Structure 1
């Protein structure tokens, strides 16, 4: 009987040692897997980082009709509508708050143009640059700089 008691004790110790070893091995494996996942995730996350897509902000300027400078064909008209692509909400708010001034500046600038200067594609690009130049001076004291990215002609008829 003494041998059976001693044998069962050895068997018990053997089982305890096996449980401790298997638990240690499982813990080490889990640690390695989680450790490896944490080191690869930031690299993968950095590779997958997509630049934040900004929703474009447009300020629509209602279409207007203006008399152009006289040319060989007599009096001509320009019917133009445009939108301004702006870089931030502050610029949008300033332009909308001062829309009468914006329209006045544009009408004055357009009225000095001749019809022959407005009909080509490159002339519209030049006209867009002139629009940017006309809107560049501040409309009020202490006005922050306007961020106007592009001038888009939505309607354009020379008659």
Structure 2
């Protein structure tokens, strides 16, 4: 009978060696997570410390040259028509010019009739199929920006306009 009692497991229902292995596994996982956490934290600390040393020099050099944006709405909106497969189509586009220097923008305003003419010709030469897609609209915006910058460079000697923005775009 003594042999049978010796073979019986303790009251927990599990052998004594199993609890020791479970504690060892949990301890190993905690140690591994702690090591990974310390590694990531140290890497982040050293990399972010190097960026902070470089930022003030860059910000000091860039801050004085950047002026606030100035917007000029070109009213009235552009309305152009074009044909697609024998069907008449219309496009209405409201345009705003973004610049950084008010004096240069005022110098460009003198040439507004030429600028409006170039944009009307650009808009009316487009195809309906390309304008219904977002990519087509963005391409048209970039072409308009290039056209305005080219005219500004030609007439005033500077590009003046940073971007041409579409504030309203209707296709019918």
State the TM-score, normalized to the length of structure 1. 0.60
Shift in CA distance, 140/57, structure 1 to aligned 2, threshold 3 Å: closer
Counterpart for residue 116 of structure 1: 129
More helix by share: 2
Counterpart for residue 139 of structure 2: 126
What is the rounded CA distance, in whole Å, between the counterparts of 1:58 and 1:116 in structure 2?
30
1:98 paired with 2:111, answer: yes
Q: Which has the higher contact order (CA 8 A, sep 6+)?
A: 1
Decide which of 143, 157, 163 is 1:144's aligned counterpart: 157
Counterpart for residue 100 of structure 2: 87
The structural deviation recorded for 1:124 is: 1.6
User: What secondary structure is seen at the aligned counterpart in 1 of 2:106?
Assistant: helix
Decide which of 57, 67, 77 is 2:81's aligned counterpart: 67
Unaligned runs of 5+ in 1: 1-45
> What RMSD, in angstroms, separates the aligned Cα atoms of the two structures?
2.7
- Matched residue pairs, number? 113
Counterpart for residue 22 of structure 1: none
1:51 paired with 2:63, answer: yes
User: What secondary structure is seen at the aligned counterpart in 1 of 2:71?
Assistant: strand
The structural deviation recorded for 1:64 is: 1.9
Q: Is the 8 A contact 2:67 2:100 kept in 1?
A: no
Unaligned runs of 5+ in 2: 1-55
**Alignment deviations for residues 76-122 of structure 1 (CA, whole Å, 9 cap, x no partner):** 01101010111212331122111111111100111111111111111
State the TM-score, normalized to the length of structure 2. 0.56
